[in-house]
Amino acid sequence: MDDKELIKLIRDKLLRHRVAVSDDLWSRVSDALPSPVVWYKRKRLYAAVAAVAVLIIASVWLWDDCRDVAEQPHSTLLVCNEDSICCCQDSVIQSVTAVASNDVKCVPSSDVESLAFAETSHTSHEPQVCKEKPLETVDRVVCVVKEECSHEIVEPSPALNIDTPLIAYCHDDAIYYDDEALRSLGIKAKEKCKATQFFAFDASTAGGRTVVTPLSFRSLDAELTFAHKMPLVVRALFEKRFGRWGVGVGLSYTYMVADYEMTNNMRLGKQELHYVGIPLYASFEFARLGDFSFYGALGGQMDINTAGILFEDPSSYAYKCIEEKHFRDKVLQFSAQARIGAAYEVVEHIDIFIEPVLGYYFDTPSHVHSLWSDSPLTVNVALGVRAWF
């Protein structure tokens, strides 16, 4: 047997030979593997840091609120029925009180009727039950407001006179307004909070907003306030990855709640909105640190309103006419979204992740007040679980 044949024989036997390793060898290998941050490219690290910095700076810069609007003096608003009978409710009086604040006199009182023409009176801690009065008496009405209104008593304001136009009235279980813009409560803000007013009152909750909308009637002004609560969003995403790149599509459900209130308590209640959305995005994983991975994503989303409900509060004036109103906004809501996320592999193939999400919701012709229409720029934090295979 020559050397070549011997070598071939030995190679055939040995090169594909396998020998079992001890059970703990993998753990030794795994423990010995370095787990430093593997930044794929330093430039990308800088880009990620810059993105986070921009996000933080933008958030701080946008941390303004709508107080400029909210602190505007209340305006007069009377609510009358079609027979020109104005309801002298506490709510109306509160409004009157605010408008006529320059003429406010603190007068004790316990009797609305006796106070009607009073210049001064005594202090009362008893909330007064206001009565309906003919419109022609309104200019002389002096009612005591509720305790929480500091027991103020007002005299008729010059703005209050019998020529006050009809603002709203009830008819056949429907409420009618005299202004086209108030056809429904879902009127769009005339001067809604701009991007600079992003974090209205609750930046930390990243979702709730209080937005005051000034409304103009024929000759009166009022305000409509929507206090949006943090929305609930549930998403299911499917992402196809190509190395560090990925594209994804999914389905999301958004539930929004807002408390609304119109000056003088004419409207008061809760609005619920339900949306189904279709997100589409591209992602890029820019770093790994052991079981942690860091990534960013850019994309858009289309949201479809599936249902909306207005629950009128029994204490509001409109409750007489509308207790509950169902509607559906047919206008599609489009948005652009940017996410930066960190994921941690809890067990094999299962990650938990946290994603700060910066979103911009484009203007639409919809009349429905949503968090997105009132505050187009949003920052949310998403928590979730993902399985990969």
What residues make contact with other proteins under the rule CB under 8 A?
A: 1, 5-7, 9-11, 13-22, 25-26, 28-30, 32-35, 38, 243-244, 285, 288, 290-291, 293, 345, 348-349
Strands 85-86, 245-262: pairing is: unpaired
Q: Smallest distance from the beta carbon of 48 to other proteins, in angstroms?
A: 16
Provide the 3-class DSSP secondary structure of residue 32. Answer: helix
Instruction: Give 28 or 190: the residue with its C-beta nearer to other proteins.
Output: 28
Shortest spacing between CB 344 and other proteins, in angstroms: 12
The maximal CA–CA distance of the chain, rounded, in angstroms, is 131
User: For other proteins, which is the closer residue by CB, 10 or 249?
Assistant: 10
* Calpha distance 211→144 (Å, rounded): 29
Coil/strand/helix, residue 54: helix
Nearest distance, CB of residue 309 and other proteins, angstroms? 47
Q: Least CB distance from residue 16 to other proteins, whole Å?
A: 7
CB of residue 185 to other proteins, shortest distance in Å = 52
Return d(Cα 175, Cα 184) in angstroms, integer: 9
Question: Cα(240)–Cα(314) distance, rounded to whole angstroms?
Answer: 51
Q: Which of 116/342 has CB closer to other proteins? A: 342
From 270, 339, 254, select the one nearest 304 (Cα to Cα): 254
Q: Which is nearer to other proteins, 29 or 181 (CB)?
A: 29
Least CB distance to other proteins at residue 21 (A): 5
Handedness of CA 302, 234, 389, 282 (dihedral sign): positive
Look at residue 27 and give its three-state secondary structure.
Answer: helix
Question: Using CA of residue 125, residue 127, residue 129, residue 134, what is the dihedral sign?
Answer: positive
- The neighbour count for residue 225, using CB atoms within 10 Å, is 19
DSSP 16: T
Residue 251 or 385: the one with the smaller Cβ distance to other proteins is 385
244: number of Cβ within 10 Å = 15
Measured from the CB atom, the residue of 158 and 290 that comes closer to other proteins is: 290
**150: phi > 0 → left, psi -120 to 50 → alpha, else beta; which?**
left
Output the smallest distance, CB 287 to other proteins, in A. 10
Q: Would you say 71 or 348 has its CB closer to other proteins?
A: 348
